[in-house]
A and B are shown apart, each in its own frame.
Chain A
Amino acid sequence: GQQLNQSPQSMFIQEGEDVSMNCTSSSIFNTWLWYKQDPGEGPVLLIALYKAGELTSNGRLTAQFGITRKDSFLNISASIPSDVGIYFCAGQGYGGSQGNLIFGKGTKLSVKP
């Protein structure tokens, strides 16, 4: 089945630094989504990407849908303490059960003030 490899698993950075994380897939997705999850909460959508090559920003966050349809990255610029949390990528394939979301294993971000 489809699998997502998300890296890095965790990051410890200083406030103000930029952050980059990425996901790669063994197969093609038609949608890439990036979520943030705070402890004890459900994931919250950050950015949705629907087209290969698409580059989308949401404030200090920027994400891109790779042109091969098998990868995506998320960048966070000028990190702040409230960026702390776990970031998940999620991909959606084509139709039927492949239309369900598949999640990466997450990137745990820690920001030191």
Chain B
Amino acid sequence: GAVVSQHPSRVICKSGTSVKIECRSLDFQATTMFWYRQFPKQSLMLMATSNEGSKATYEQGVEKDKFLINHASLTLSTLTVTSAHPEDSSFYICSARDREQGGGYTFGSGTRLTVV
């Protein structure tokens, strides 16, 4: 089945630094990937839709200059949290859709970001 690899699984960074999270579709091509944020005991909230070869589409309230998304190839999307602050600490999850396999959404294993 479709596999999405997300790295790193955990990262601790200092306030003011930037962190990059990678999301790769391992055995399929994904023209669209999605980035979610999940706070403890809450549901997944869509942050942005990452489109291969074009600009990402951000949800209302998500700062595009703070959460930089790059989808340079059909198998890789990256999310960079710039100038991270403690309030950015959260669980970030990516997903990708394999249109050739019926359009199911496969999720990565998530990245736990802690900003200190």
Contacts and interface: CB of A to CB of B under 8 A. Distances in A.
B34 A100 contact: yes
Contacts of B42: 105-106
Interface residues of A, number: 20
Interface string A84-98: 000010100000010
Interface stretch (A13-21, A39-47, A59-67, A72-80): A39-47
B104 A45 contact: yes
Contact of B43 (A33, A45, A105): A105
Contact of A88 (B43, B110, B112): B43
Interface of B: 4, 6, 34, 42-46, 49, 57, 91, 93, 95, 102-110, 112
19 contacts: A35-B107, A41-B109, A41-B110, A42-B4, A43-B44, A44-B107, A45-B107, A88-B43, A88-B44, A97-B49, A101-B34, A101-B46, A101-B105, A102-B46, A103-B44, A104-B43, A105-B42, A106-B42, A106-B43
Interface of A: 31, 33, 35, 40-45, 48, 88, 90, 97, 100-106
